[in-house]
Amino acid sequence: MYISLLPQFQVPGQGSLLLQGTVLGMTQVTISLAVNLLIVLLASRIASLIGGRPLWLKAQRWIMSSVLTGLAFRLAFERR
């Protein structure tokens, strides 16, 4: 990814291309790490809230089984 995307943001006349590539790459890594950490923390919080409710767990099982059953029927009766 870095070889194909980052060079378009580098300007040869404004210093070392290696330094520019390193700064751009580290910026992307830092932002990705922060966003992924936020997603993990939010998912953990939601899982702890939902996990303590037996009614929600039962409803979730029924919803998922209905979705999977519907997909199985669609796949079984789909024409090629």
Q: What is the pLDDT of residue 47?
A: 87
Number of independent structural domains in the chain: 1
Measure Cα distances from 75 to 6, 63, 67, 71, 72 in Å: 42, 18, 12, 6, 5
How far is 32 from 2, CA to CA, in rounded Å? 14
pLDDT beyond 80 at 80? no
The pLDDT tens digits of the residues spanning 3-52 come to 777 778 888 899 898 898 889 889 999 999 999 999 999 999 988 888 88
DSSP state letters, 14-75: GS-HHHHHHHHHHHHHHHHHHHHHHHHHHHHHHHHHHHT-HHHHHHHHHHHHHHHHHHHHHH
Q: What is the pLDDT of residue 1?
A: 67
Q: Which two tokens stand for residue 8?
A: 């378009």
The pLDDT tens digits of the residues spanning 60-69 come to 899 999 999 9
How far is 54 from 50, CA to CA, in rounded Å? 8
- Could you list the residue range(s) of the whole structural domain that residue 11 is in? 2-77
